[in-house]
Amino acid sequence: MPQLRRHHFLPLILGCLALVFSAVLQAEDGGAEYRLGSGDRVRVSVFGEADLSIIERVSDRGTIAYPLLGELAVGGLTPVELAGLVTERLKGPYLVDPNVTVTIEEYRQFFVMGQVNRPGGYAYAPGLTVRKAVSIAGGFTDRASRGKLYLVPEGQPDDERRVGEEAALGPGDTLVVRESFF
């Protein structure tokens, strides 16, 4: 029986690493589209600079306070864009080549109104659907109409649209569950 050598496993190991790297890139791309808004809690990390690494909640004005740079307007930026902004502002006057990453520690709330058992605001989690939101809000009341579900996207109060239970909700969105008449 031939002996297996370490170099025989090299293609297998490299293939596994390529799959893992691909999955990480896809996960990062999905988060790259997310736009920061009031209520999000972000972590800004500068490699090797503990004093410049912070966790801040985005204010109602869409800003965060950042050491050395003061108040930064971050509302509407993606985490990647915020990392670029901090890198650009720190580079030169404060650091030679800053390595900045931004992650979302806590998403802003979504809201459920109408015929659910516990209407109110709840912590958003990626992958949230109408069905999951209703479940988080304690389920439908006896008077709820499952066919009258409306989504009001964040920042668009006049854009109420009818949705099904599998529709996606975003942070800051409001779900309205109407009453059934029968």
Give the tens place of pLDDT for each residue, 75-98: 999 999 999 999 999 999 889 999
18-28 mean pLDDT? 37
Which structural domains are found in the chain, ordered by start? 41-106 (3.30.1950.10), 109-179 (3.10.560.10)
Segment holding 6, helix H or strand E: helix 6-32
CB 107 within 8 A of CB 124: yes
Judge contact between 84 and 146, C-beta under 8 A.
Answer: no
- Each residue of 106-145: pLDDT tens digit? 999 999 999 999 999 999 999 999 999 999 999 999 999 9
What does the mean pLDDT of the chain come to? 86
Task: Enumerate helices (H) and strands (E) in the chain, giving the number of each.
Answer: 3, 10
Q: What was the pLDDT predicted at 181?
A: 80
What pLDDT was estimated at residue 93? Answer: 87
pTM value?
A: 0.72
DSSP bridge partners of 6: none
Q: Which residue has the higher pLDDT, 56 or 20?
A: 56
In the prediction, which pLDDT does 3 show? 57
User: Where do we find the tokens 């989504």?
Assistant: 151
Q: Give the SS3 label for residue 89.
A: helix
Pairing of strands 174-179, 109-114: parallel
The DSSP output letter for 97 is: S
Residue type, 158: D
